[in-house]
Amino acid sequence: MQSSKSQPDGILCILGIDSRYNEGCRELANYLLFGLYNQSNNDFEKTGFPEEVLDDVIILIKPDSVHVYCNPINYSYLLPYVAYWRNLHFHCLTENEYEDEEAAEEFKIASFVDMVRDCSRIGIPYSSQGHLQIFDMFIVEKWPIVQAFALEGIGGDGFFTMKYELMDVSMDLWKTYSKMDPVALDDLLFEVVLLAVAFWEMRVQGSIALKSEKSHEKDVP
């Protein structure tokens, strides 16, 4: 059991270009959002919105609350998956406010600063399963939204990595992912059903082909 001093005050998940498409963050988002950001998910492709708009999401998970930054476009897609979360705090502009690109960017930075304000140690899901990388906080510092944290006026008064202690929580999260929850069980059962259907179709087709061959043999004088 880890001591409270070694536990993060929050786990930070940043999607898209703002984390330079970090796979560990994407994996956590998919776990939390039922695979919404899987590459095999065609729902987003059908929307016609650019990837950078749909990926414009920041999630901070604290022991007693969850903060979600998003935009008014992807909000409606996220809401069904997060609406039941306890003590959920949304940071989101209206559609009219979002039309001002400069104001929207400033709002995102201000939201990010506000989300992490009460933290001192922040966990980063740095690596995805099967692709363990050596944790480098200076790479995290180069993530666009983290860089913006240092901007004067709207930023957090200093470099992110100097103000907060960062820790890699990838391996701890993998243990959670490996546990069989209802969603994972549903996915597993779906895969088993697909395999069973494919096997049955092969058996049926094989049986039909065999009967056809026997019938053909009987017809030959």
* Digit-coded pLDDT (tens) for 81-111: 999 999 999 999 999 999 999 999 999 999 9
Count: domains in the chain? 2
Place of tokens 């409270």: 4
Residue 173 Ramachandran class (φ > 0 left, ψ -120 to 50 alpha, else beta): alpha
115 and 212 part of one domain? no
**Residues 188, 146 within the same domain:** no
- Residue 76 pLDDT > 60: yes
Q: For residue 95, report the phi and psi dihedrals to the nearest 5 degrees.
A: -60, -40
38 and 53 together in one domain: yes
CATH number of the domain at 91, please: 3.40.350
> Does residue 171 sit in the same domain as residue 221?
no
Cα–Cα dist 19/29, whole Å = 13
Query: Do 8 and 75 share a domain, yes or no?
Result: yes
Q: Do 164 and 77 reside in the same domain of the chain?
A: yes
Beta bridge partners of 167: 123
% pLDDT > 90, the chain = 62
The whole-number pLDDT of residue 74 equals 94
Same domain, 149 and 190: no
Are residues 166 and 126 part of one domain?
yes
Give yes or no: residues 166 and 120 share one domain.
yes
Domain match, 144 and 61 both: yes
16: pLDDT strictly greater than 70: yes
> What domain range is 48 assigned to?
4-178
**Are residues 162 and 206 located together in one domain of the fold?**
no
Pairwise pLDDT comparison (122 vs 219), residue with the higher score: 122
Task: Please indicate, yes or no, whether residues 53 and 40 belong to a single structural domain of this protein.
Answer: yes
Total-model pTM = 0.80
Taking the chain, what is the end-to-end CA distance rounded to the nearest angstrom? 81
